[in-house]
């Protein structure tokens, strides 16, 4: 009996291991590796316990029957966890679709579906459940912000209850709100969001994101020297979105200092790396380099927002 139980437990641990691994990929804030391993161990222990209890309660039952019952119950537990993450998986898929084409014929449909996912979501009552919901919201926000739909992004961000967020999620939420408010022209609102971030942030990438947002705010306010100094302290950006933010900041900062050639060079790098989207972002911020970005957009034959 115990040999059978052990075999089933190992098998269930394998099933559980595959599910949290997928969860880890799609919800990095909610499933750090330590918690994932604990979850796998718990599921394996549950399978073993259920097999033993089944044999004690129903002595006549065969070991195989008890093992099957344990497997069924354990798989149900894993299934519930996986199902709770399906909206997040769907949001990731839609985000990729919107990133590929944010102005095409399906963009409006994808936007509507992203907003619907948040509208119908039912946050879990415990910390883990709310963490999964927050990850869904932030995934949707990332997709909307990448498509320059900042009004929608702010509306979605404001649905979160900040008191239920972990420190990392709280920082991500505040930085996201600050960036969206900045692009919408609310510089005071952006400054207020950045001021409420706990320092230092737990994750280096979050600390860098907050600092990059502060540098961007300085640049659009015309405080070019301070903005460039802040960028210099950050060093090489860790990921493409931060790299884009750095170049946008450089463009505004150099133009604020009267260094138009350096500002134009930053705009050309932006266009080379990020297409017209980079220039549209510089334009939307209504900062020192916005007229230069508008001129470059006019020089091309692509539509622009003037």
Q: What is the pLDDT of residues 17-27, one digit of tens each?
A: 333 333 333 33
Would residue 196 count as lying in a domain?
Answer: no
CA-nearest of 113, 117, 84, 82 to 97 is 113
State pLDDT tens for residues 97-111.
Answer: 888 887 788 889 999
Identify the band that residue 143 occupies on the pLDDT scale cut at 50, 70 and 90: very high
The overall average pLDDT reported for the chain is 79
Domain boundary among 63, 84, 105: 84
Measure the N-to-C terminal CA separation of the chain; round to a whole number of Å.
Answer: 75
* Tokens found for residue 114: 């992203």
Would residue 134 count as lying in a domain?
Answer: no
Give ∠ CA 145-147-150 in degrees, rounded to 5. 40
pLDDT confidence of residue 166: 93
* DSSP assignment letter at 186: -
Would residue 132 count as lying in a domain?
Answer: no
What is the dihedral sign for C-alpha 244, 246, 250, 252? positive
Identify the band that residue 298 occupies on the pLDDT scale cut at 50, 70 and 90: very high
Locus of tokens 């884009």: 244
Would residue 126 count as lying in a domain?
Answer: no
Would residue 193 count as lying in a domain?
Answer: no
Identify the band that residue 183 occupies on the pLDDT scale cut at 50, 70 and 90: very high
Would residue 183 count as lying in a domain?
Answer: no
* DSSP assignment letter at 199: S
The CA distance from 258 to 270, in Å, is 19
pLDDT value at 210 more than 90: yes
Of residues 118 and 43, the one with the higher pLDDT is 118
What's the number of domains the chain is made of? 2
Q: For residues 230 and 218, is the Cβ–Cβ distance under 8 A?
A: yes
Identify the band that residue 250 occupies on the pLDDT scale cut at 50, 70 and 90: very high
Would residue 258 count as lying in a domain?
Answer: yes
Question: Residue 114 contacts by C-beta under 8 Å, 6 or more apart in sequence?
Answer: 91, 94, 95, 98, 140, 143, 144
Domain boundary among 84, 119, 154: 84
Give the domain range for residue 267: 202-306
Would residue 70 count as lying in a domain?
Answer: yes
CA-nearest of 186, 197, 207, 196 to 285 is 186
Helix (H) or strand (E) holding 165: none
SS3 per residue for 240-263: HHHHHHHHHHHHHHHHHCCCHHHH
CA-nearest of 304, 262, 214, 153 to 270 is 262
Q: For residues 280 and 304, is the Cβ–Cβ distance under 8 A?
A: yes
Identify the band that residue 44 occupies on the pLDDT scale cut at 50, 70 and 90: low
pLDDT confidence of residue 62: 58
Identify the band that residue 51 occupies on the pLDDT scale cut at 50, 70 and 90: low
Domain boundary among 39, 62, 84: 84
pLDDT confidence of residue 127: 82
Of residues 88 and 14, the one with the higher pLDDT is 88
């Amino acid at each position: 009996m115990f040999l059978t139980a052990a075999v089933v437990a190992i098998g269930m641990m394998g099933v559980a291991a595959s599910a949290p691994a997928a969860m880890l990929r799609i919800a990095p804030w909610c499933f750090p590796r330590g918690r994932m391993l604990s979850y796998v161990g718990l599921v394996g222990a549950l399978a073993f316990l259920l097999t033993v209890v089944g044999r004690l309660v129903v002595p006549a039952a065969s070991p195989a029957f008890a093992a099957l019952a344990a497997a069924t119950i354990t798989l149900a537990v894993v299934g519930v966890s996986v199902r709770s993450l399906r909206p997040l998986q769907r949001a990731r898929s839609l985000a990729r679709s919107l990133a590929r084409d944010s102005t095409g014929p399906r963009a409006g449909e994808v936007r509507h579906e992203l907003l619907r996912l948040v509208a119908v979501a039912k946050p879990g009552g415990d910390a883990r459940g709310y963490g999964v919901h927050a990850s869904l919201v932030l995934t949707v926000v990332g997709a909307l912000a990448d498509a320059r739909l900042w009004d929608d992004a702010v509306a979605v961000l404001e649905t979160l209850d900040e008191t239920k967020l972990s420190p990392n999620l709280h920082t991500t939420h505040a930085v996201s709100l600050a960036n969206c408010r900045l692009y919408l022209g609310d510089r005071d609102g952006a400054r207020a969001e950045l001021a409420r971030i706990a320092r230092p942030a737990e994750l280096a990438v979050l600390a860098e994101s907050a600092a990059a947002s502060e540098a961007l705010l300085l640049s659009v306010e015309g405080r070019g020297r301070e903005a460039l100094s802040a960028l210099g302290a950050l060093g090489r950006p860790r990921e493409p979105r931060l790299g884009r933010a750095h170049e946008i900041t450089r463009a505004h900062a150099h133009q604020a200092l009267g260094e138009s050639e350096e500002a134009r060079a930053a705009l050309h790098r932006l266009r080379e790396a990020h297409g017209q989207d980079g220039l549209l972002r510089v334009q939307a911020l209504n900062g020192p380099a916005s007229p230069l970005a508008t001129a470059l957009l006019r020089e091309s034959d692509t539509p622009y927002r003037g």
